[in-house]
Structure 1
Amino acid sequence: MMRRLLSFVFLLWAIGFLWFVVALPQPATDAQLTDAVIVPTGGAGRIARGLDVLDRGLAKKMLVSGVDPEVKPAEFAAEFGVRAEAMACCITLGFSAVDTRSNAAETAKWVAQNEVQSLRLVTTDWHMRRAASELDRTLPDHVTVIRDAVPSNPQVGTLFLEYHKLLASRAAGLADL
């Protein structure tokens, strides 16, 4: 009996992992405008994609969550080629987040302060499900979240780790109920 149960659990895990790997989230279409774009730091191409969304007018403001406290706005602007006017009006660097859960908390606080009703979440494809799940638990129900995944070529180890982080995050979310 125990062997069958363990086999069944392993089968569920394997099917879930296969789904996680094969069906990575995709970039969003440009058809929907949002009040803001949210970019958690940590993956190649995320900030560049967020800045592109902002430059093309798909969002009015941008929060970069989880910026190292050592980074100065002028250094950020120089690194990513951001005009001073855009930094002053439209880009907020968030320094309080250190992980995906605190990215969501930092985002929720910023969303409330800026009266954001809709946002575009820009993060790496393999990170999207967990980041969006954390945001779903943290943001008010009336805030619309568009998922805009940055395509990557992750290694199997990265996918394996992120799948288990997603499972742990979902289990923690169930425990919060």
Structure 2
Amino acid sequence: MAKGRHKPLSALYRLPLYLFTAWVLGFGLFFVNLPKAAMQTDVPKSDGIIVLTGGAGRLQAGLDLLEAKVADRMLISGVNPVVETHELSALTGVEEALFTCCIDLDKAAPNTAGNATESTLWAQAHGYRSLVLVTADFHMPRSLILFRRAMPDATFFAYPVKGDWPILYLANEYNKYVVTLIVEAFRPEPKATTMQTATKETP
């Protein structure tokens, strides 16, 4: 009898190990399945471009798409409230006239969920239905989940930006991704969802 009573305790003691093993395996799958870098030629003509700030290369990638006429207008979401247009122009080497005519700045979004909310308002204001989403490759999976939730009737083309990201960045993003998946699992499905990716991945 005593021996039998120890079995639940033994399993309980092993639980942290099981959870850690599951986390490591999941993180490994997350890492090896990060979306591959996209080419401009992979991106079809779209209504608008959305760039999420927070990493090197994202803004330049969005500007390159805009200058290539992939879309006529771009939103940079999550801009620091103190940053002005002329500063971005000087930073990127792009004429301020392009920012004036074709680029909008979202300074209200504090995080990825906020990016999705503010981008939805922007897209609705312009009547946009097809959108190119530009962000870091490790940030793209979670971003697409949140953007699909916010804009179920829109078509998204993922344009991931590659980089040498610190392992802690990746681990932190993976944790957020898992939490997002869990939350989404308990939410009703949106009425309509269309998503495509410039990297030719399965939606």
TM-score (norm 1): 0.90
**Structure possessing the higher radius of gyration over alpha carbons:** 2
Aligned-pair CA distance for 1:175: 3.7
- Secondary structure of the 1:60 match is coil
Over the matched positions of the two proteins, sequence identity in percent amounts to 35
Residue among 154, 157, 177 paired with 1:166 = 177
* Residue 36 (structure 2) aligns with: 26
Structure 2 residue identity aligned to 1:73: T
Tell me the distance in 2 between the aligned counterparts of 1:98 and 1:174. Answer: 24
- Secondary structure of the 1:79 match is helix
* Residue 146 (structure 1) aligns with: 157
Tell me the distance in 1 between the aligned counterparts of 2:172 and 2:159. Answer: 21
Structure 2 residue identity aligned to 1:160: A
* Residue 59 (structure 1) aligns with: 71
TM-score (norm 2): 0.79
Structure 2 residue identity aligned to 1:151: K
Unaligned runs of 5+ in 2: 1-6, 189-203
Aligned-pair CA distance for 1:168: 1.1
- Secondary structure of the 1:163 match is helix
- Secondary structure of the 2:128 match is coil
Q: Is 1:87 the equivalent of 2:91?
A: no
Residue among 45, 56, 64 paired with 2:57 = 45
- Secondary structure of the 2:69 match is coil
Give the number of equivalent residue pairs: 176
**Are the aligned partners of 2:148 and 2:154 in contact in 1 as well (CA < 8 Å)?**
no
Stretch deviating more after TM superposition (57-66 or 22-31): 22-31
**Are the aligned partners of 1:94 and 1:106 in contact in 2 as well (CA < 8 Å)?**
yes
1:106-152, CA deviations, whole angstroms, 9 ceiling, x for partnerless residues? 1111010011111111101111111111101101x331100110001
* Residue 78 (structure 1) aligns with: 90
